[in-house]
A and B are shown apart, each in its own frame.
Chain A
Amino acid sequence: MVTGTRPAPVLAARAAVVASVVLAAFPAAAGASPSAPAAVTRASTTGAPVVVRLVPESRGRGKAQRIVTRIDAFSAGGVRRHVRTVRDGGLVPQPAVSPDRRRVAFARADGRIAIVTLRDGALRLLRPPGLPRPRPERGDVDRSRWAVAPGAGVSWSPDGRVVVAHALVQRDPDRWASTLGEVRSVACTVASGRCTTAGRGAPSDLLPLAGGRTLRLDGPSPSDDRDGGSSYQLDGVRQQRLVLARRRDPVRTAASVSASPTGSGRLRVLRAIRSDAKAGIVALGSRVSGPAGVLVRRNATRLGPPRDQEGIPSSGPAIDLRSRVLAPWLVSPTGHLSTLPLRLAVTPIGTLPDGRWLVPTSEVRASSRFGPPEPGLATLDRRGRVRALLVGGRPVTPVRLALDAGLPDPFAAGAGFLAAWPAGDDLLVALQDSGYGGTVFFLGDSALVRIPLDGRTPPRLVDHEGGASYDAR
Chain B
Amino acid sequence: MTPAEFGTTDDRSRRPEDRWFRIDVRSRALLAFAVVLAGGAVLAPAAPAEVVRITSDPAADSDAPDVVAIAAFPATADAGRIAGLPVAGLPDDVATFEAAPPGGPVAYAGQGPTGPAPADRFDDQPHRPLAGLVPLGGGPVVPFTGPTGGPLGRAFRPYSNAANDQPDPWITWAPDGASLVLHAVGRDPRADPWFAAPASRRCVVATARCEPVAPRDVVDLPGGGTVQVDAGLTAPIGANRSLGRDSAESRVTTKRFRARAGRRYAVTVRVAGRPGPAATWTTSGVLRTGAPAYDRSYASAAGVLVRTSRVRAPRSSGRDAYESVGADAGRAAIVRADGTIRSLGRFGYEVVGTLPDGRWVLTGGSGERFERGPTGLPLSTLDADGRIAPITSGTRPVSPVWAASTAGLPDSLSTTAKVEHAGVDGATGLLVLVLRFSDDDGGGRVVAVTPDGSAPPRLLRDAPGRPSDDDYVVR
> Which residues of A does B touch, CB under 8 Å?
370-376, 397-400, 403, 406-415, 435-439, 442
A-B contact pairs, 9 of them (CB 8 A): A371-B412, A376-B411, A403-B401, A407-B18, A409-B399, A410-B377, A414-B372, A415-B415, A442-B370
Closest to B21 in A: A408
**Which one of B373, B400, B410 lies within 8 Å of A436 (CB-CB)?**
B373
12 more A-B residue pairs beyond the given contacts A413-B376, A436-B373, with a C-beta to C-beta distance below 8 A: A373-B412, A397-B411, A399-B414, A408-B17, A409-B17, A409-B397, A410-B368, A410-B372, A412-B376, A414-B372, A414-B415, A415-B415
A371: chain B residues at CB < 8 Å are: 412, 439
A121 to B444 Cα, complex, angstroms = 54
Whether B376 and A375, one on each chain, are in contact in the complex, defined by CB atoms closer than 8 angstroms, is no
Whether A403 and B402, one on each chain, are in contact in the complex, defined by CB atoms closer than 8 angstroms, is yes
A408 to B369 Cα, complex, angstroms = 14
CB distance from B402 to the nearest CB of A (A): 5
Whether A438 and B370, one on each chain, are in contact in the complex, defined by CB atoms closer than 8 angstroms, is yes
Whether B415 and A436, one on each chain, are in contact in the complex, defined by CB atoms closer than 8 angstroms, is no
**Which one of B18, B373, B397 lies within 8 Å of A413 (CB-CB)?**
B373
B406: chain A residues at CB < 8 Å are: 403
Whether A409 and B377, one on each chain, are in contact in the complex, defined by CB atoms closer than 8 angstroms, is yes
B120 at the interface (CB under 8 A from A): no
Contact with A along B61-88 (1 / 0, CB 8 A): 0000000000000000000000000000
| B residues contacting the other copy or chain, number (CB 8 A) | 27
B375 at the interface (CB under 8 A from A): yes
A87 to B405 Cα, complex, angstroms = 41
Whether B412 and A414, one on each chain, are in contact in the complex, defined by CB atoms closer than 8 angstroms, is no
Closest to A408 in B: B18
B348: chain A residues at CB < 8 Å are: none
Whether B17 and A411, one on each chain, are in contact in the complex, defined by CB atoms closer than 8 angstroms, is yes
A442: chain B residues at CB < 8 Å are: 370
A401 to B371 Cα, complex, angstroms = 23
**Which one of A376, A406, A413 lies within 8 Å of B415 (CB-CB)?**
A413
Whether A439 and B405, one on each chain, are in contact in the complex, defined by CB atoms closer than 8 angstroms, is no
Whether B371 and A413, one on each chain, are in contact in the complex, defined by CB atoms closer than 8 angstroms, is no
Whether A408 and B405, one on each chain, are in contact in the complex, defined by CB atoms closer than 8 angstroms, is no
Query: Tally of A-B residue pairs with Cβ under 8 A?
Result: 83
| Residue among A370, A412, A415 facing the most chain B CB atoms (10 A cut-off) | A412
Within 8 A of A (CB), among B2-22: 15, 17-18, 20-21
CB distance from B449 to the nearest CB of A (A): 14
- Taking A374-B410, A411-B17 as contacts, is the C-beta distance between A399 and B372 under 8 angstroms? no
A412: chain B residues at CB < 8 Å are: 376, 401-402, 405
A400: chain B residues at CB < 8 Å are: 405, 411
CB distance from B369 to the nearest CB of A (A): 9
A411: chain B residues at CB < 8 Å are: 17-18, 376
Whether A375 and B412, one on each chain, are in contact in the complex, defined by CB atoms closer than 8 angstroms, is yes
B410: chain A residues at CB < 8 Å are: 374, 397
B378 at the interface (CB under 8 A from A): yes
Closest to B397 in A: A409
A374 to B399 Cα, complex, angstroms = 21
Closest to A376 in B: B411
Sorted nearest first, the 9 A-B pairs with minimum C-beta distance are: A410-B376, A413-B376, A408-B18, A438-B371, A410-B17, A409-B399, A413-B375, A409-B376, A413-B401
Within 8 A of A (CB), among B435-449: 439
A397 to B413 Cα, complex, angstroms = 12
Within 8 A of A (CB), among B359-385: 368, 370-373, 375-378
A411 to B371 Cα, complex, angstroms = 13
A415 to B401 Cα, complex, angstroms = 11
Whether A409 and B401, one on each chain, are in contact in the complex, defined by CB atoms closer than 8 angstroms, is yes
A372: chain B residues at CB < 8 Å are: 412
A81 to B411 Cα, complex, angstroms = 34
A435: chain B residues at CB < 8 Å are: 370, 372
A406 to B414 Cα, complex, angstroms = 16
A142 to B20 Cα, complex, angstroms = 48
A176 to B424 Cα, complex, angstroms = 53
**Which one of A375, A410, A437 lies within 8 Å of B411 (CB-CB)?**
A375
Closest to A466 in B: B15
CB distance from A421 to the nearest CB of B (A): 22
CB distance from A100 to the nearest CB of B (A): 37
B373: chain A residues at CB < 8 Å are: 413, 436
A412 to B375 Cα, complex, angstroms = 9
A412 to B406 Cα, complex, angstroms = 12
CB distance from A409 to the nearest CB of B (A): 4
Within 8 A of A (CB), among B151-192: none
A370: chain B residues at CB < 8 Å are: 439
- Taking A399-B405, A403-B402 as contacts, is the C-beta distance between A409 and B378 under 8 angstroms? yes
Whether B376 and A414, one on each chain, are in contact in the complex, defined by CB atoms closer than 8 angstroms, is yes
A408 to B10 Cα, complex, angstroms = 14
Whether B370 and A409, one on each chain, are in contact in the complex, defined by CB atoms closer than 8 angstroms, is no
CB distance from A330 to the nearest CB of B (A): 29
A375: chain B residues at CB < 8 Å are: 411-412
A399: chain B residues at CB < 8 Å are: 401, 405, 411, 414-415
A436: chain B residues at CB < 8 Å are: 370-373
A438: chain B residues at CB < 8 Å are: 370-371
- Taking A409-B378, A411-B17 as contacts, is the C-beta distance between A374 and B371 under 8 angstroms? no
CB distance from B346 to the nearest CB of A (A): 17
A412 to B377 Cα, complex, angstroms = 10
Contact with A along B298-325 (1 / 0, CB 8 A): 0000000000000000000000000000
A413: chain B residues at CB < 8 Å are: 372-373, 375-376, 399-401, 414-415
CB distance from A403 to the nearest CB of B (A): 6
A410 to B399 Cα, complex, angstroms = 9
B18: chain A residues at CB < 8 Å are: 407-408, 410-411
Whether B21 and A406, one on each chain, are in contact in the complex, defined by CB atoms closer than 8 angstroms, is yes
CB distance from A457 to the nearest CB of B (A): 19
A398: chain B residues at CB < 8 Å are: 411
**Which one of A397, A409, A414, A439 lies within 8 Å of B402 (CB-CB)?**
A409
| Residue among B18, B373, B376, B414 facing the most chain A CB atoms (10 A cut-off) | B376
B378: chain A residues at CB < 8 Å are: 409
A439: chain B residues at CB < 8 Å are: 370-371
Whether B372 and A403, one on each chain, are in contact in the complex, defined by CB atoms closer than 8 angstroms, is no
CB distance from A256 to the nearest CB of B (A): 40
A414 to B377 Cα, complex, angstroms = 12
A414 to B20 Cα, complex, angstroms = 18
A442 to B369 Cα, complex, angstroms = 11
A403: chain B residues at CB < 8 Å are: 401-402, 405-406
| Residue among B17, B368, B439 facing the most chain A CB atoms (10 A cut-off) | B17
| Residue among B371, B373, B400, B415 facing the most chain A CB atoms (10 A cut-off) | B415
Contact with A along B393-427 (1 / 0, CB 8 A): 00001011110011000111011000000000000
